[in-house]
A and B are shown apart, each in its own frame.
Chain A
Amino acid sequence: MEPELTNESTSQSAQRPTDATPDRRTVSVTVNGTRCEAAVDVRKTLADFLREDAGSTGVHVGCEHGVCGACSVLMDGEVIRSCILFAVQADGHEIVTVEGLGSEQELSPLQQAFVDHHALQCGFCTPGMLLAAVDLLKHCPDPTEAQVREALSGNLCMCTGYAGIIRAVRAAAPLMSGPVDSHAGARGTSPPASGDDRAPAKG
Chain B
Amino acid sequence: MEASSTQWKGRAVPLREDLRFSTGRGTYIDDMKFPDTLHVALLRSVHAHARILKVDLSEALEMPGVVCGLTGEDASRMSEPLRSLIPIPVALDAYCLAYGKVTHVGEPVAAILAESRYLAEDALEKIRVEYEPLPAAVDPEAAMEPDASLLFESMGTNVMWQDRFDYGDVDEAFGRAARVLKKRFYIQRYSSTALETFGCTAVYDDHREQLTIWSNDQRPGQAMPIVAHSLGLTHSQIRFVTPDVGGGFGNKRKAHYLIIAALLSKLSGGRPVHYLEDRRENLMALIHACNGVMDLEAALDEEGRILGMKVRDIADEGANVLNPTVHSILKLGNLTNCYRIPVVRYEVNSVMTNKCPSGANRGIGKPFMCLAMERMMDYLARELGMDAIDLRRRNLVLPDAMPYTGPSGALIDSGDFNGTLDKLLPLIDYEDFLREQREARAQGRYLGIGIAIGLEPSTSNASAYILSSGRRSASGAAEAAMVRVEHDGSILVLLGDVGSGQGHETAAAQIVADELGVAMDGVRVSPFFDSAVTPWLYATGNYSNKFAGTDVGAILGAARKVRDKLLELAAHLLEEPVENLELADGGVHARDRHEHRKTLGELAFVAYRDLLSLPPDMEPGLEGRFYYKPDIANVPDENRRVRNQLFASNAAHGVIVEVDPDTGGVTILKYGVVHDCGTVLNPSIVEGLVQGATAHGIGAALFEEFDYDAEGNLKSTTFVDYLKPTAVEIPDVAMDHLVTPSPYTPLGMKGVGEGGAIPAPAAICNAVENALEPLGCTFDHLPLTPERVWEQMEKARASK
User: Which residues of A approach B to under 8 Å, CB–CB?
Assistant: 20-22, 41, 43-44, 51, 56-65, 67-68, 70, 97-99, 101-104, 107, 111, 114-116, 118-127, 130, 148-150, 152-166
Contact = CB atoms under 8 A, between A and B. Distances in A.
Contacts of A164: 688, 691
10 contacts: A107-B23, A111-B22, A118-B688, A119-B22, A122-B244, A123-B501, A159-B692, A161-B694, A162-B727, A163-B733
Contact of B727 (A41, A56, A166): A166
A156 B691 contact: no
B475 interface: no
Closest 10 pairs (CB-CB, A-B): A58-B24, A123-B21, A121-B501, A161-B695, A124-B246, A122-B501, A98-B24, A67-B719, A161-B691, A153-B726
A195 to B, nearest CB: 20
Interface string B30-57: 1100000000000000000000000000
Contacts of B733: 161, 163
B196 A62 contact: yes
Given A57-B24, A63-B718, A149-B728, A68 B195 contact: yes
A45 B279 CA distance: 16
B418 interface: no
Interface stretch (B10-18, B103-111, B313-321): B10-18
A44 B121 CA distance: 13
Interface residues of B, number: 58
B724 A156 contact: yes
A193 to B, nearest CB: 24
Nearest to B697: A161
B727 A122 contact: no
Given A104-B25, A115-B15, 8 more contacts: A21-B64, A41-B118, A43-B118, A62-B197, A68-B195, A111-B23, A155-B727, A161-B694
A116 B694 CA distance: 22
Given A98-B24, A107-B22, A163-B733, A61 B30 contact: yes
Contacts of B22: 107, 111, 114-115, 119-120, 123, 126, 130
A22 B64 CA distance: 9
Contacts of A59: 24
Contacts of B502: 121
Nearest to A113: B22
Nearest to A131: B24
Contacts of A63: 279, 718-719
A70 to B, nearest CB: 6
A62 B18 contact: no
B732 A158 contact: no
A118 B22 CA distance: 10
Nearest to B720: A67
A68 B19 CA distance: 22
A116 B13 CA distance: 9
Given A21-B64, A118-B15, A161-B733, A125 B195 contact: yes
A104 B64 contact: no
Nearest to A123: B21
Nearest to A51: B30
Contact of A64 (B23, B195, B278, B692): B278
B368 interface: no
Nearest to B756: A161
Nearest to B194: A158
Contacts of A103: 23
Contacts of A114: 18, 22
Q: Interface residues of B: mostly helix, strand, loop or mixed?
A: loop
Contacts of B688: 118, 121, 159-160, 164
Interface of B: 14-15, 17-28, 30-31, 64, 118, 192-197, 244-249, 278-279, 500-503, 684-685, 687-689, 691-696, 718-720, 724, 726-728, 730, 732-733, 756
Nearest to A98: B24
Contacts of A119: 18, 22
Which among A67, A107, A155, A163 has the highest number of chain B CB atoms within 10 Å? A163
B716 to A, nearest CB: 13
B660 to A, nearest CB: 18
Contacts of B756: 161
A106 to B, nearest CB: 9
A58 B684 CA distance: 24
B18 A115 contact: yes
Contact of A158 (B26, B192, B687): B192
Nearest to B684: A118
Contacts of B193: 158
B718 A65 contact: yes
B118 A116 contact: no
Contacts of B18: 114-115, 118-120, 123
A20 B727 CA distance: 46
A15 to B, nearest CB: 14
Which among B194, B503, B693, B733 has the highest number of chain A CB atoms within 10 Å? B194
Nearest to B27: A57
Given A99-B23, A104-B25, A122 B194 contact: yes
Contacts of A51: 30
Contacts of A153: 726-728
A104 B19 CA distance: 6
A65 B118 contact: no
A152 B727 CA distance: 6
B218 to A, nearest CB: 11
Contacts of B503: 121
Contact of B195 (A70, A130, A163, A166): A70
A125 B688 CA distance: 15
A185 B18 CA distance: 18
Contacts of A60: 28, 30, 195-196, 246
A158 B727 contact: no
Nearest to A58: B24
A119 B25 CA distance: 16
A58 to B, nearest CB: 2
B14 A161 contact: no
B727 A165 contact: yes
A166 B693 CA distance: 17
A62 to B, nearest CB: 5
A159 B719 contact: no
A121 B685 CA distance: 9
A62 B195 contact: yes
Nearest to A70: B195
A130 B625 CA distance: 39
A152 B561 CA distance: 48
Nearest to B64: A20
A43 B246 CA distance: 27
A122 B24 contact: no
Nearest to B119: A22
Contacts of A120: 18, 21-22, 501
Given A65-B718, A115-B19, A125-B195, A158 B245 contact: no
A65 B720 contact: yes
Contacts of A67: 718-720
A60 B194 CA distance: 13
Contact of B730 (A43, A56, A57, A162): A162
A158 B247 contact: yes
A156 B118 CA distance: 26
